[in-house]
Structure 1
Amino acid sequence: MIKYLTYGVSPFQQNCRIVFCPDNRNAVIADPGDSARELALEAEKLKLNPVAILLTHGHQDHAGAAQDLARLLNIKIIGPEHGDAFLLEGMSYQGQMLGLPPVDNFAPDIWVTDGQELDLQLNEPVKVIHTPGHTPGGVCYYFEKSGLLLSGDTLFAGSVGRTDFPRGNARDLVQSITEKLFLLPDSVKVLSGHGPETTIGNEKKHNPSLAYMMHLAK
């Protein structure tokens, strides 16, 4: 079974996660929005072998340290879906909007697609679920065997991702959650980009923000 550790990075306390297989010690680092050197040192301290960086979407608080971390560890950046190219290609301007230090524009080594299965050397496949709405190219990563979902800024505990950023879309977000994420088992643990963990079942029953967004999207 996959294990993970959570680190709050950037002034937005974005949840960066080191996800690893305890058997072979291979790891992926998901959404390193800041603190590249610290994350690299943490992986070394834990005696892990990072094999890739996963990005759920192109906002700087999730992707800002990806380039530096990839260079430090000599690993590839995977994701998001190509719809977020405009965000990564405009990364140098995002800092001005978000009040964060400037970061160079970049593209990942691998764009992902909906339904794709990734072999990240973690002894279980990772499924890509394209979940537009917060951003057009946003994705979630589903570890079916371990019952874990890296949901980025699509779904939170009691809330959902904002859609008032460039190319956000409330109707798309509602469809991504209700027609894709809510088809997963209720027991799946949702590891959100901000805030506490939750489950699919809990969010089906108790998510007031989603109910409000469904009303707006009609």
Structure 2
Amino acid sequence: MDITTFPLGPLQTNCYVLANDGQAVVVDPGGDPAPLLRHLEAGGLTLSVILNTHLHFDHTAGNKALSEATGAHILANDADGYLMDTWLGRGGDMGLPLVPPYTWTNLEPGETVFAGTGCTVFHTPGHSPGSLTFYFPDAGAAFVGDLIFYRSIGRTDFPGGDLDALKRSVTEHIFTLPPETRLLSGHGPETSVGDEKNHNPFFGGF
């Protein structure tokens, strides 16, 4: 699979386009999807699905426009649905734009196929109750949203956050992946399972 990164929106959230055999998946379109649409057209790619790691506004702002432009449906976990009643899901606070309303289909953890390649969906709460991780073994990559970053972890002080749950999610679902697995986060540079397992300061002795 080919993976391209697009930092989008006011918080420069990493949005990812996965391409495989003419099909594409978008993970977390957090802003104006125009660059994504140009990329899809230039590559002759058909967008099959939009995946949300969680439903915070900076990961979903482009959901509606991208879905309407391509016909792709949106998948997320219903445990984050309560966020639609808060500024964390709607935006609009601190001068941030409102997120256009969108609809999604509930996605539960398990084995599935996106863009013709296998994906394991993990439920990885902590940053939010409905946070998901998308692991594509053939690509050697896991899309972790704001669960874990290079040498850091996602915030747990927002409503619905839980530090102990986040640490369990990482140790049970992320650190058990092959050490060379790329971790593609919602913000900042990519890292790897082995690197974070050995050097992330939040997991010493957990």
Q: What SS is found at the alignment partner of 2:139?
A: coil
CA contact (8 A) 2:25 2:50 kept: yes
Aligned residue in 1 for 2:12:
13
Q: What SS is found at the alignment partner of 2:114?
A: coil
Taking structure 1 as reference, are residues 93 and 191 closer, same or farther at Cα in structure 2, changes over 3 Å only?
A: closer
- CA offsets 1:30-75 (integer angstroms, 9 cap, x no match): 1001012332122112221111101000001101111110000111
TM-score (norm 2): 0.93
Runs of 4 or more, structure 1, over 2 Å off, are 88-94, 96-99, 104-107, 209-212
Is 2:152 the counterpart of 1:159?
yes
Give distance in 1, aligned partners of 2:49 and 2:94: 26
Amino acid at match of 2:36: L
Give distance in 1, aligned partners of 2:17 and 2:89: 27
Once the two structures are TM-superposed, the CA of residue 140 in structure 1 deviates from its matched residue by 0.4
Amino acid at match of 1:119: V
TM-score (norm 1): 0.88
Amino acid at match of 1:11: P
Amino acid at match of 2:162: N
Aligned residue in 2 for 1:119:
113
- CA offsets 1:116-157 (integer angstroms, 9 cap, x no match): 2222233x2111000000000000000012211001000111
Trace 1:1-218 onto structure 2 (pairs within 5 A). 2-21=1-20, 24-79=21-76, 81-88=77-84, 90=86, 94-97=90-93, 99-108=95-104, 110-114=105-109, 116-122=110-116, 124-211=117-204
- CA offsets 1:82-141 (integer angstroms, 9 cap, x no match): 110111454696323353211233331x21112x2222233x211100000000000000
Taking structure 1 as reference, are residues 28 and 87 closer, same or farther at Cα in structure 2, changes over 3 Å only?
A: same
The sequence identity of aligned pairs, in percent, is 35
Amino acid at match of 2:40: A
Backbone CA RMSD of aligned residues: 1.8
Taking structure 1 as reference, are residues 54 and 91 closer, same or farther at Cα in structure 2, changes over 3 Å only?
A: farther
CA contact (8 A) 1:147 1:189 kept: yes
Equivalenced residue count is 206
Amino acid at match of 2:75: I
